[in-house]
Amino acid sequence: MNPSGNGYDIYDLYDLGEFDQKGSRSTKWGSKTELQSLACSARNLGIGICWDAVLNHKAGADYTERFSAVKVDPKDRSVEIFAAREIEGWVGFSFPGRGGIYSSMKYSWHHFSGVDWDEARKKNAIYRVASKRWSDDVAHEKGNYDYLMFADLDYSNLEVQKDVLRWGEWIGSQLPLWGMRLDASKHYSADFQKKFVNHVRATVGPQIFFVAEYWSGDVRVLMHYLQKMDYQLSLFDAPLVGRFSRISRTGEDLREIFDDTLVGNKPAHAITLVMNHDTQPGQSLEAPIASFFKPLAYALILLRDKGQPCIFYGDLYGIRRGVKNPMTPSCGGKLPVLARARKLYAYGEQCDYFDQANCIGFVRYGNLHHPSGLACIMSNGGASQKRMYVGRSHAKERWTDILGWHPKTVIIDKKGYGIFPVSAMQVSVWVNSAAEGRESLQEPFEEKIYEN
């Protein structure tokens, strides 16, 4: 990996910042020793480590090789632009700095299916190795979306399979992993991915969690992939991100927020999110979300009973460096409150009040160990209110908005109902003012972690 790279320009899977390679021993993030120390400290704090596995390609080859290749149409990779001819590609990986430690595998042109640079002619294009075919169990975008970048690994090659499977077992022996994220999973063989998941669980532990980054706005595509993977992993709910983006900017019907989403169809396999590093402003999959809508979206993924939510670092801490337009923490700084509310109150059965186009609500009733419950109401239009049932056991309780965005106190009547208001284009989360943990919701959150 380039010492300044973020990890997607992957060179050597077996080098975690241990060997003097490509001008540095450490990665951009530090040395292997520091990584292992961090992982152990995280484990002791009850924090799981999820490894971002970049298995689609390799970059930064040690030398070039000549081989026969076919130039293909970048808009439709099934279309050949000219007949096969010899090119010179960066496909030779001998890892001299590692010297065969952990793996003796060396990579040559026959371990790859394509490249994007002909060194002999100094030309950039997508070249398929002439004796190869693109994988057919990948996304069908651009005719065939096997090729993404750099030197594209060929998972029909048994040597490649064996080496990467061995790496999956090895990485689990080096770090106390909780799970893995499979980067760019729509760009390489789903059959191999299934084999990889099964192998890691068999050798590292059956509890290892897997999430695949298969980015598609079409929920049918995601469900087909899940089926092909025998439902052995989870997926990021890209269609949900798209709906958040569109409804936040158009004022469309909130009752349709979960239509055609993964959490609406296969909730046990849905990682729900509002934004990530690819959809933030200025990135390749930018999906702008109106600022007023961010807390509504986070309430919908954090406080409901379906999906496994994922908070974007940039929303929690802001993005202050290396960007044209810095971002402050989203949700008016209230995202930590919503996250704490999930831990304290988002339990038990759920009742939806999706009965108005621009104002929806839901109630969580709590359980034996977390009996407080909550009532959430949101509007992407004008101010509104809803009469919602929270349970007779809460009669006479005084409920207030934990976000502090609505000043009213709601008294629960003897039948267990309350009339819960919300201001225009806002969300309010109502909880008994005497509920356990209320005082901890407003504890200071240190967002300026890089200023110390």
Half-sphere exposure of 283 (CA within 13 A, CB side): 13
Contact indicator for 429, 363 with CB cutoff of 8 Å:
no
Q: What angle do CA 181, 185, 186 make, to 5 degrees?
A: 155
In the residue annotation, 213 being an active-site residue is answered as yes
Task: Supply 47's token pair.
Answer: 């924090």
DSSP secondary structure code for residue 357 in this structure = T
Whether 187 contacts 147, CB under 8 Å: yes
Catalytic residue among 213, 315, 397, 401: 213
| β-bridge pairing 209-212 and 57-58 | unpaired
Check if the beta carbon of residue 225 is closer than 8 Å to that of residue 214: yes
Tokens of 94: 């001998």
Please, what is the angle between helix 219-228 and helix 190-203, to 10°? 50
CA–CA–CA angle 404, 409, 415 (5° rounding): 130
Token pair for residue 61? Answer: 């080859």
List the catalytic residue out of 15, 18, 118, 183.
183
> Which of 197, 265, 260, 262 has the alpha carbon at shortest distance from 230?
197
Annotation says 191 is catalytic: no
Strands of 74-176, DSSP E: 76-80, 85-92, 112-118, 123-129, 151-153
3-state percent helix, strand, coil for the chain, nearest multiple of 5: 25, 25, 45
Contact indicator for 108, 65 with CB cutoff of 8 Å: yes
| DSSP class per residue in 177-246 | EEEEEETTGGGS-HHHHHHHHHHHHHHT-TT-EEEE----S-HHHHHHHHHHTTT-SEEE-HHHHHHHHH
Using a 10 angstrom Cβ sphere, with 0-12 exposed, 13-18 middle and 19 or more buried, the burial of residue 157 is middle
Q: How is 10-34 classified by DSSP, letter by letter? A: ---TT-SS-S-BTTBSSBTTB-HHH
Residues recognised as catalytic: 183, 213
